Structure 1
Amino acid sequence: MPVSWSDSVDDVIGGDLTCALACLTPAGGAVVTSVAPIGLRDRERGTVGFTTSLGFGRKLERIRDDPRVALAYHAREHGVGDRTNPRFVLAQGEARFDPHPDRATLDEIARQSSRYLGEPRRGRFWDRWLHAYYEDRVLVTVTVTRVVAWPDLRAAGTPVVTGAPLPEGAAPQTPPKNGTAPRVDAARTGRRAARLPHVLLAYRGQDRYPAVVPVEVGSADVEGVHLRVPDFVPPGGRRAGLLAHSYRSQLVGLESRQNTGWLEVTDADAVYAPHTESGFRAPPQKTVLLLANGFLARRGLAQARKQGRIQALG
């Protein structure tokens, strides 16, 4: 039977302007990034979704290689639902996508997104400049295995679970051959993450679905970034992804900082050692943002085609 969810959870899934997507890596870790869900869900079929561009197709490659994903609905600001709804909602399941959507699908994405992102810019220049951003979009649909809803945005308290029962805490992972110590500047990672309002951690759960949890940044030094994590995060060491981000209305003025690395949780502390880093800061003006989105999507699409990554998607 399809997994369904309550009206209060549906308000979160249908209303949030952005959510965090976690995908698995071949090494057993997780990568977490922000995506635009634009209210995509079907309670009768038990699906949720989001959109992305082929020009930003790394996440699609990860989904192709392992379709198990998680979407964390973790922030109410600038959404269209009840902004006082305090729930942190995690939807886990298996994703699928068509890299060559038909015209009807693209039109439906445009209609759905306008409520959240504003009406698309039209005209001779914009139609050409934003072609890769608007026209080469992909709808990703996740068939839900489990929905977990905590009573507050810190993922504290007893959650309500629909679908598959929660598994036991994941066992510690084998450390990487190159060691677990930071490979990029951990103090800088901590400073950047601490000044952004939303910080999330992702790791592979015992049932091999990604888990995403909200965390708070404490101190940071050469040893790593000290985090305050929810009580249910399993002890021991494991590969994990970190996302710190902020956004404004219609996703203008985005800032995102992403890391992959090693998490070590003990009774006294949780320390994150970043191994890779990426990020961006988008301009706060809508017109400048669209110009940048058009450039990045066009460049990303051209690179993906040249490297054969688009063809490899199917």
Structure 2
Amino acid sequence: MPLNWPDEVQSVFAGDLVTVSAYLTPAGGAIVTPVSPVGLVDPEAGTIAMTSSLAFPAKLKRLVQDPRVAMAYFTREHGFATAPHQVLAQGTATVPAQPSPEQLALVTRQANTFFGDMPTGRFWDWALREYVEHRVIINISLERVMSWPSPDLRGAPEVYGRPAPQHPDPQAPPTGGTGPRVDTAKFRRQAQAMSHQVIGYRGGDGLPVIAPVQVSGHSERGLHLDVRPGLLPPGGRRAGFAAHAFRPYAAGVSNRVGTGWLTVTGDDVTWAPHTSGGFSSPPNKSLHLLGNGLLSKHLIRKYRRDGTLRELDDLRAR
């Protein structure tokens, strides 16, 4: 039976411009990535959705192998949602082999609403062909929705669907050690320059969990995080981190993401980055689109030549 949620949550699902998604790694950690779901939600079916380009097949491959996913609606910036509720949605993703023409048409209409009308003409049709046409729509059948009426996530959340599990037990540390493996001071500077910061990990029932945090400093142990007491599980575990910022119409996007080791001991919360990545796009919408289009064109051709897309198609077919 499809999951139901109230109008306040529906407003958030339908209106947030940029959210973050999380999926699991084979080692039991999580990858957290900012996304723009353009309000794709079907309350009657109990689903939300996001799109992804075939130019980034690693995420799609992992979702086919392990479809447990979460989406956090924590920003409420430059979008259309009016409710203050902070929402975490968890469920199971389906990566179809090919979206229907109706789905692609819906995504185009929604994208024009959230991002503004796409430029047209012979040059733009060529530049954006792979970016627009070579996309998949990832449908997420929701199993649980957690909603905090307060923007600072104080108090117990309202839970729709499966009851929230207990905090997961601590994980065994990685063989390479738990300390930082990248420049922590640089990572801190980059993260603190962005207004939205989250941490993601595997929850007590195996579904990813995403929680808002704030980087307050760093030491030899890693980044020091401020977080509402009780929101994160005690002990140590693999966890993904994302900091991001964006302007109206999702132009001028910047993010800094990574995987690492999260340690929670009472009020002391640290995250030691093991990997680091990210990018910044121009604040000019046309330049932003052109960059996305040319990058998608290059990567699609590359992955066609080396067989990556064929491997993904075979995996989805199986």
Same fold (TM over 0.5): yes
- Out of 119, 131, 134, which is 1:133 matched to? 131
- Out of 172, 194, 197, which is 2:195 matched to? 197
What residue is the counterpart of 2:226 in the other structure?
Answer: 228
Instruction: Give me the TM-score of the superposition, normalised by structure 2.
Output: 0.95
What residue is the counterpart of 1:46 in the other structure?
Answer: 46
What residue is the counterpart of 1:256 in the other structure?
Answer: 255
Is 1:145 aligned to residue 143 of structure 2?
Answer: yes
The 5 Å alignment of 1:236-275 reads 236-275=235-274
Q: CA deviation at 1:160?
A: 0.2
> Deviation per CA, 1:227-270, whole angstroms, max 9, x where unpaired?
01232311000000000000011110000100100000001301
What residue is the counterpart of 2:316 in the other structure?
Answer: none
Q: Which amino acid aligns with 2:234?
A: P
What residue is the counterpart of 1:4 in the other structure?
Answer: 4
What residue is the counterpart of 1:212 in the other structure?
Answer: 210
Q: Find the residue that maps to 1:23 and give its secondary structure.
A: strand
Deviates more, 1:22-31 or 1:184-193: 184-193
| Structure 1 residue runs without a partner (length 5+) | none
> Deviation per CA, 1:112-147, whole angstroms, max 9, x where unpaired?
211111112211111111111111121111000000
Structure 1's consecutive aligned runs of 4 or more residues displaced over 4 angstroms after TM superposition are none
Matches of 2:103 and 2:11, distance apart in 1 = 24
2:53 and 2:136 in contact (8 A); partners too: yes
2:238 and 2:262 in contact (8 A); partners too: yes
Matches of 1:20 and 1:4, distance apart in 2 = 22
What residue is the counterpart of 2:119 in the other structure?
Answer: 121
Instruction: Give me the TM-score of the superposition, normalised by structure 1.
Output: 0.96
Q: Find the residue that maps to 1:113 and give its secondary structure.
A: helix
What residue is the counterpart of 1:309 in the other structure?
Answer: 308
Q: CA deviation at 1:222?
A: 2.8
What residue is the counterpart of 2:295 in the other structure?
Answer: 296
Q: Which amino acid aligns with 1:10?
A: Q
Matches of 2:151 and 2:199, distance apart in 1 = 14
1:15 and 1:80 in contact (8 A); partners too: yes
Deviates more, 1:15-24 or 1:104-113: 104-113
Is 1:34 aligned to residue 34 of structure 2?
Answer: yes
> Deviation per CA, 1:16-46, whole angstroms, max 9, x where unpaired?
0111000100000000001111111111111
Q: Which amino acid aligns with 1:57?
A: P
| Structure 2 residue runs without a partner (length 5+) | 314-318
Q: Find the residue that maps to 1:219 and give its secondary structure.
A: strand
Same amino acid, percent of matched pairs: 45
1:151 and 1:159 in contact (8 A); partners too: yes
Matches of 1:208 and 1:78, distance apart in 2 = 32
2:180 and 2:222 in contact (8 A); partners too: yes
Q: CA deviation at 1:312?
A: 2.3
Q: Find the residue that maps to 1:162 and give its secondary structure.
A: strand
Deviates more, 1:32-41 or 1:139-148: 32-41
1:255 and 1:281 in contact (8 A); partners too: yes
What residue is the counterpart of 2:276 in the other structure?
Answer: 277
Q: Which amino acid aligns with 1:101?
A: P
The 5 Å alignment of 1:9-28 reads 9-28=9-28
Matches of 1:126 and 1:42, distance apart in 2 = 31
CA shift in 2, pair 1:60/1:127, >3 Å:
same
Q: Find the residue that maps to 2:143 and give its secondary structure.
A: strand
- Out of 164, 167, 173, which is 1:166 matched to? 164
1:261 and 1:276 in contact (8 A); partners too: yes
Q: CA deviation at 1:94?
A: 0.2
1:238 and 1:262 in contact (8 A); partners too: yes
Please tell me the root mean square deviation across aligned C-alpha atoms, in Å: 1.2
2:211 and 2:231 in contact (8 A); partners too: no
What residue is the counterpart of 1:77 in the other structure?
Answer: 77
What residue is the counterpart of 1:156 in the other structure?
Answer: 154
Q: Find the residue that maps to 1:63 and give its secondary structure.
A: helix
Q: Which amino acid aligns with 1:71?
A: M
Q: Which amino acid aligns with 1:214?
A: P
Matches of 1:200 and 1:174, distance apart in 2 = 22
Deviates more, 1:271-280 or 1:51-60: 51-60
